[in-house]
Amino acid sequence: MKFKHKTVENVRLTDRFNTRQQIIGTIYLTSTHLIFTDPEGKRETWILHSLISSVDKLPTTQQGCPLRVRTKHFLSAEFLIPKERDCADLHATLNQLKPDSYEKLYCFLYQAPNYLEKIWDPFLPATEYMRMGAPNQHWKIEDGNSNFDMCDTYPPLIYVPTLTSKAMLFGSSKFRSRGRLPVLTYLHPNGASITRCSQPLSGFSARCQEDEQLLQCILRTNPHSNTMYIIDTRPRVSIPVKSSSLRINAVANRAAGKGYENEGYYSNIQFKFCPIENIHIMRTSLQKLLEVSDMKNPTMNQYLNALDSSSWLQHIKSVLDAAIFIARVIDIEKKNVLVHCSDGWDRTAQCCSLSSLLLCPYYRSIHGFRMLIEKEWLSFGHKFSDRCGHTTTSDNKEQSPVFLQFIEAVWQLSQIYPTAFEFNERFLISLHDHSHSCQYGNFIGNCEKDRLDLCVKERTYSFWNFILQNVNDFKNPLFRPQSSYASEVLLPVINAQTLKFWLSMYHRFDSALLPKENISNTLTRLVDHTTSLSDHARLLEKRIRELNSTFDNNQTTTTSSSSTTTSNEGVDDSDIEKRNHHNNICLPEFDSGLSDVDISQGRITNSISSKLNTILQPPPSLSDVESGFSGDYSPHNKALSSSFILPHQSSIDLNDIPTLERIALELNSIALDWRSYNAPVHCACSLPFDSAQRKYNCWRCGENYCTRCIERSIHLPGLYSNSLAPVCKTCARSIKSSPSFADFSALVKSKSTDFIRSQTAMKLSRSMIDQFINDR
């Protein structure tokens, strides 16, 4: 079906919490987005088609026909359309937009911005397992699944005990639901391991010798313990089966030939149930949670009761409890754990990945978290397309917020340990959104095999590349890599009051409900601002030295007989600084534009000194009130990772005598004051700022902008480090049009060639190591 673009005018967009507040505008329906703009250009709302979860036509009123659009990233927009026919037409079109095959997904059409290349940094399981210490004397790589013969939803290479044989593995895979046999997923430094699988097809009495042998082999990989745990993450019900033992809701499962391990057949095994509800109960729970979000003017009691009856936070707690139990067994009891649910791709993925995150600090870094997602969720076959409902081919009953629960559990942990995670809330929200958006190829399909068949690596962009290119937007400014929380096993005690309602996930578009600014964003802004000013100050100091030196030399030439002439030779930086301070005459009419710069060198020096002095005064934006804390803030506090701090060696000494135009350009390219994030609710381009969106201050004019209004490809002439810095498009144009900018960029380019060469050499050696690991 060819898509027909549509335009509907005089549409009212209603604020869901303030129905009196309405914006009148136009809806444009393009092949990828629904866009709403108001005629004065004060507001724009963009909704990606693949994020739309439901479109409902509500009962017609006197004003018109309301159409409610809900998205998978928790936007709820109500449009009041004047003509019923237009509304019905839009309703029908939007409801037909969901693709009926993988081939029609957005990632195969998406054209990324220029800075993002179609490069996939391959996930090499071998590298990750090697980091954990496998293979070793107890664990080996098994290639029996290289053609997906053993299990079509597992990765081609699996890690199993060295004592196993292929026959044993094939035997076990036949006995496990969907062929998902027990394989290694996490190895702790103390030798204890987490293995994962699906339920056994044991029915009421069936047994499998190979499966029993495989579990004994797993038990023997751990020299510290002669027993191991099997953790079933399904809820048990109070149905007595075989004397006093309580068993899972698996009576039906058993009748279907499925079930759980029979203790009588597996020796030295301890069984433990860590109950987590199934996908259907979780789906209903999220629906109830969203109804809570929709409540208009509830009392505190009504709100809390509704939140409680959604059970959402109880489910998050049960996932966390299971993960903490596993982490405790591994770290304290030093015993192996085998985890499974029914098919081993939902609750098992949640528990294995969360317990690994608690056990290993590496997974709390941005790079490590990526590895965790790649390993536990992507390569072990979480059914992203079915659970997120990417296409019409999957059953609606298959949809479930399993991945969202994992993301939220990580967020809850990051609230308990705010300094232990390298990534911020925006990173988690972005990961959640893009598992639904289909913009990148990573989360397409239900397993590794699906993505291989679709050739996603050749045909789509990678989400991880997007993260890497914008990594500073996703860093937690409170992260302390050296703190004990960041380097230890985390074993929190989770009470009901520990868990919070995640306002910036579920209400991110309801600006009235959110705090004006969160501490993380304010800190990031302060660190960036301080970085820009100190970098600029270093350049100004350098220029003052150079100009004073030239000025003094000139004086020496003209008044060669004078014995009082000073020279810069042998004078160190602090002496020069003292002298500059002494000589400084602040020019009240100072302006950094070239037109106002006097050709006399002394006057330029004074202009620079004046700006330097202003920078060295504490800027008003560094107030304790705004930053939310007082006392210990220091711009040199290394633990406050700045978004744009570059390695020291990246600074390039251009070694040329600057022209007056260049100095003017330098003076004119750094803003002293930055606008606070609190003020604007939308960008100058009309895009509303939601809480998940990164706001930028343009380093040249200091104003707030959204991602699409910022350019990051300009080496700012006013920075000593010559680093790339974010500037708005207007400023970028202005800098680029400066006559001396071309010379400056050419210099930066030529001077950075050596740096790029060394980087390429490092990358090459890295890929050779990866190749070596692959070949093994």
346 labelled binding-site residue: yes
281 labelled binding-site residue: no
- Binding piece for Zn ion, criterion CB under 5 A, among 353-361, 382-390, 400-408, 721-729: 721-729
Considering the complex, state which of residue 194 and residue 725 has its C-beta at the smaller distance from Zn ion. Answer: 725
CB of 40 to Zn ion, least distance (A): 16
Q: Where in 649-688 is the site for Zn ion (CB under 5 A)?
A: 683, 685, 687
Considering the complex, state which of residue 324 and residue 731 has its C-beta at the smaller distance from Zn ion. Answer: 731
388 labelled binding-site residue: no
445 labelled binding-site residue: no
CB of 731 to Zn ion, least distance (A): 3
Q: Identify the active-site residue in 87, 151, 217, 341.
A: 341
CB of 690 to Zn ion, least distance (A): 13
Reduce the secondary structure of 636-670 to three states and give it as a string.
Answer: CCCCCCCCCCCCHHHCCCCCCCCCHHHHHHHHCCC
225 labelled binding-site residue: no
Q: What is the number of residues in the chain?
A: 776
CB of 671 to Zn ion, least distance (A): 8
Dihedral class, residue 576 (left if φ above 0, else alpha if ψ from -120 to 50, else beta): alpha
731 labelled binding-site residue: no
Q: Using CA atoms, how far apart are residues 36 and 30, in angstroms rounded to an integer?
A: 11
145 labelled binding-site residue: no
Amino acid at 474: F
Considering the complex, state which of residue 457 and residue 682 has its C-beta at the smaller distance from Zn ion. Answer: 682
Under a CB-based contact definition with an 8 Å cutoff, are residues 463 and 110 in contact? no
- Binding piece for Zn ion, criterion CB under 5 A, among 316-324, 598-606, 731-739, 762-770: 731-739
Q: Using CA atoms, how far apart are residues 249 and 437, in angstroms rounded to an integer?
A: 35
Amino acid at 757: R
Residue 706 interacts with Zn ion (CB under 5 A): yes or no: yes
Under a CB-based contact definition with an 8 Å cutoff, are residues 79 and 13 in contact? yes
Considering the complex, state which of residue 268 and residue 713 has its C-beta at the smaller distance from Zn ion. Answer: 713
Residues that bind Zn ion (rule: CB under 5 A) add up to a total of 10
Under a CB-based contact definition with an 8 Å cutoff, are residues 194 and 352 in contact? yes
Question: Which of 701, 716, 719, 735 touches Zn ion by CB under 5 A?
Answer: 701
Rounded CA Rg of the chain? 31
Under a CB-based contact definition with an 8 Å cutoff, are residues 189 and 183 in contact? no
CB of 595 to Zn ion, least distance (A): 20
Considering the complex, state which of residue 220 and residue 729 has its C-beta at the smaller distance from Zn ion. Answer: 729
Q: 29: burial class by Cβ within 10 Å (0-12, 13-18, 19+)?
A: buried
278 labelled binding-site residue: yes
Residue 698 interacts with Zn ion (CB under 5 A): yes or no: yes
Q: What would the two tokens of residue 110 be?
A: 């998406």
Q: Which of 248, 259, 160, 257 is nearest to 210 (CA)?
A: 160
Residue 624's SS3 state is helix
- Tally of CA atoms within 13 A in the half-sphere of 87 that contains its CB: 24
Residue 732 interacts with Zn ion (CB under 5 A): yes or no: no
- Binding piece for Zn ion, criterion CB under 5 A, among 206-214, 244-252, 632-640, 707-715: 707-715
CB of 620 to Zn ion, least distance (A): 19
Residue 709 interacts with Zn ion (CB under 5 A): yes or no: yes
Q: Would residue 683 show up in a list of annotated catalytic residues for this protein?
A: no
- Counting runs of H as helices and runs of E as strands, what totals does the chain give? 25, 20
Q: Where in 288-327 is the site for Zn ion (CB under 5 A)?
A: none
List of residues contacting Zn ion (CB under 5 A): 683, 685, 687, 698, 700-701, 706, 709, 728, 731
Catalytic residue IDs: 341
Binding-site residue ranges: 278-279, 341-347
Binding-site residue ranges for substrate: 278-279, 341-347
